Structure 1
Amino acid sequence: MRKTFTTADGATLSYSDSGSGEVLVLLHGWSQSAAMFRHQIESFSRERRVIALDFRGHGLSPQAQHGYRIYRFAADVAELLRHERIEKASVLGWSLGASVLWAMIDLYGTTGLDRLVFVDEPASVMIQPGMSEEDVKNAGALFDGTTMLAVAAQIAGPEGHAAREGFLGSMITKGIPKDLRDWLLAENLLVDPRTVAELFVNHCAIDWSDLFKRIDRPTLVIGGRVSHVDPQSQEWIHGQVKGSELVIFDESQCGAHFPFIEQPETFNAVLAAFLEKGSAKLPLAS
């Protein structure tokens, strides 16, 4: 079922709400949409209530005039849970969606959160001042501030379509079907270029490295051997979150940035094991 609600600052957000039972919330990545999780919604809504939100200006959520910041997105998710009177939920954040989940934890703590899943998000996308070489590797930082601003300008400029297509190409496996690649790009391009460039800068600039030791919920960290996000960064996050589990998909398991849609059966098996049976019986755990 598709629903909408209005946030405290006047944005209209669209979300899918399927199934019943224990709640699983799915948070998508930068310049993408809740539709990325179509296979997870179909599978997990058979036994759970699955909510997948389109962030403001993404997917089916209309363009908002303001608020394209990670912490505002986190407040949006918290408001949605209150709107639906959800007192406890497991939350999966993929890419930027993981940063939104981390911002929620930073703002509100872990009260109301059950199990947490972080999918292929570095602790800091941007190299922060004072980072050592080892810090950069552990954080998974991809570029410096000058490069970040140049990329944002390119996204917002006349070559923005090509820039976003190039971005997507770096995040998927070489063997992805053309129709799936084209669909992913079409979803990406739904978001206004200036809006998504603004969000890109905010997303990249935040370093979450000091957050992970404060997490006290069962946590699964998922990465990919051929992702643009260095798997060392996912191993580092796993090492910071006490009692967490780690799964790194290899190339044959579509271990790039979109494993949940490139090879959903494998991804869903790992997620189901974590949600239903606990971390001790995870398949493919590394």
Structure 2
Amino acid sequence: MSIDASSPPTPAPVTGWLTTSDGARIPYRRQGSGPALVIVPGWSQTAAMFQHQLDALSDRRTVVVADVRGHGEAPPPPGGLRMARLAQDVRELMDHLELERAHLLGWSMGASVLYAFVDLFGTDAIDRLVLVDQPSMLLQLPGMDEEEIADAGAIFPIATLYDLYAALSGPDGEATRAGFVAGMVTPSISPALYDWILAENAKTPPALAATLLLSHGTNDWRDVLARIDRPTLVIAGSVSHVPPRSQRYVHSRIAGSTYHEFGAHDGGAHFPFLEAPDAFNAVLRTFLSPE
């Protein structure tokens, strides 16, 4: 049965909570049994957005998706709004669930969290890795030429990043974020789904999102790519605000990786798992269950 992509998903109830080593409270949803797939959502986004994957992929595996600290159903954390701490949260979630190894999927900032995971912990705990629509570097550094900027996907000059931080932290933070999110979807998205995405984003306080954005935006993960030695799928969108060239660069730097690019009429912006869930799930099934 195909999924109605014009309507928002109906999120399942939270099934458990992790209290991290620094005192943050993180809710997660877990469905199915078998080999584990752990999904890491993106900046200002929520675990509820992956309900279609929880429902569709849990027939053959255990699917787990947790809110990033301070996002979705997670209360504001005591701190730790840094990529390294979020990677530690993933490690602690796996330990909490007694998962020695798992498939890991990171979308948007969630992919950066997994770059940090590899940087800190290596790849021993990873079966297969899925990286969805995230550049290896967001910040344009002095001395980078146009080719380097395009390959890295460095979409932020430093002044733009600081201005965005200031706007998110200010009285018009919600409007700033809504404008940012508007550039992440296809023009054909249904109003009901788009409004739901905005409502899910609103669960993350803009000031918290601003603080996290600075850590997210100022990391350079290019040296980590060559250290990824697990089967990896890189997913891009042809009309995403994340330039597809940056995803092809990630693919080129990870030996033996697989690349898939969703087209303009197939959910090919930043939310393919919501705008084209059947196609997205089919790509995942093929990659996670090779012949």
Is 2:119 the partner of 1:106? yes
Structure 1 residue aligned with 2:19? 6
2:177/2:206 contact within 8 Å kept: no
Structure 2 residue aligned with 1:16? 29
Is 2:39 the partner of 1:26? yes
How many equivalent pairs are there?
Answer: 278
**Gaps (5+ residues) in structure 1?**
279-286
Is 2:226 the partner of 1:216? no
- Paired letter, 1:149: Y
Structure 1 residue aligned with 2:5? none
Alpha-carbon distance in structure 2 between the residues aligned to 1:197 and 1:254: 27
Q: Secondary structure at the match of 2:256?
A: coil
Is 2:165 the partner of 1:152? yes
Displacement of 1:132 after TM fit? 1.6
Is 2:215 the partner of 1:192? no
Alpha-carbon distance in structure 1 between the residues aligned to 2:214 and 2:147: 23
Is 2:65 the partner of 1:52? yes
Structure 2 residue aligned with 1:90? 103
Is 2:138 the partner of 1:125? yes
> Could you tell me which of 206, 213, 217 is aligned with 2:219?
206
Give the TM-score of the pair, scaled to structure 2: 0.94
- Paired letter, 2:94: L
Give the TM-score of the pair, scaled to structure 1: 0.96
Q: Secondary structure at the match of 2:273?
A: helix
Is 2:192 the partner of 1:179? yes
Displacement of 1:85 after TM fit? 1.0
1:128/1:207 contact within 8 Å kept: no
Q: Which moved more, 1:121-130 or 1:217-226?
A: 121-130
Q: Structure 1 runs of 4+ off > 6 angstroms?
A: none
1:96/1:203 contact within 8 Å kept: yes
2:237/2:264 contact within 8 Å kept: yes
Alpha-carbon distance in structure 2 between the residues aligned to 1:128 and 1:82: 37
Displacement of 1:254 after TM fit? 1.2
Alpha-carbon distance in structure 1 between the residues aligned to 2:142 and 2:16: 42
- Paired letter, 1:17: R
- Paired letter, 1:49: T
What percentage of residue pairs aligned between the two structures are identical? Answer: 48
Q: Secondary structure at the match of 2:226?
A: helix
CA RMSD of aligned residues (A): 0.9
